[in-house]
Amino acid sequence: MIRKIKAVVNKLDINEIIIQSENFFFESIPTYRILKNCEENKEYIFETILDINEWNISLYLFYDNFERNMFLNLKKVSKLGSKSALKILQNADAENIATMISANDINGLSKLPGVGKKTAERIANELKNIFDSFVTTGNNSKLNDALDALEALGFERNKIYKVLKEMNIENLSLENIITQALKKL
């Protein structure tokens, strides 16, 4: 089973990534981290999953092991398959998804493509114990309120998560969290 692949990114855009490993060319859908961190004509080592079923053979590429594990966990959620899990990872950073799950952020999860409110609740309920370490339970309410407020001001949810993750929000009031986050956004 292929676990890692050393490859050169030949083409990279939102719809596909074409990589070359020796004399083989693979076409795959890039994840958020691959789109954000990779450049064309450079060599990378990707984490992979080879998925074989009765309809097709798919090689899934991931920027790192955390992203790969997020994909495997999302696939375990009832009524969520490989294509849906990959679509989620194509539109949001794996750490942000883990933070949303840990914070029980149903609103944020339901904004991911192909994820409605019921699916978001299933993801949060079935994967909560796996990602508990991302947010301390006392801060979930403040984190969600700050996210909603900053998103209402027009900021992208992934960028907000990144800024809030860098901040120590434990001893801050909601107003201070929003004010400090606005300075960094």
pLDDT tens digits for range 13-27: 767 778 777 787 877
pLDDT at 135: 55
Count of structural domains within the chain: 2
Taking the whole predicted model, whether its pTM rises above 0.75 is answered as no
Q: Which of 63, 85, 107 is the last residue of a domain?
A: 63
- The domain boundary, picked from 18, 36, 63, lies at 63
Quote the domain boundaries for residue 168. 137-184
**Inter-CA distances, 124 with 12, 35, 74, 142, Å:** 31, 25, 10, 18
Task: Give me the CATH number covering residue 16.
Answer: 2.40.50.140
Q: Which of 14, 47, 63 is the last residue of a domain?
A: 63
Average pLDDT in the 155-170 region? 79
Q: What is the pLDDT of residue 139?
A: 55
Confidence band, pLDDT 50/70/90 cuts, at residue 132? low
- Under 8 Å between Cβ of 151 and 158: no
* Distances in whole angstroms, Cα of residue 93 to Cα of each of 30, 45, 48, 153, 175: 12, 18, 17, 21, 26
Place of tokens 């904004």: 111
Q: Please determine, for residue 70, whether its predicted confidence score (pLDDT) is greater than 80.
A: yes
Which range has the worst mean pLDDT, 7-21, 83-97, 98-112, 150-164? Answer: 7-21
**Residue 137 clears pLDDT 50, i.e. is over it:** no
CA pair distance 75, 38, nearest whole angstrom:
25
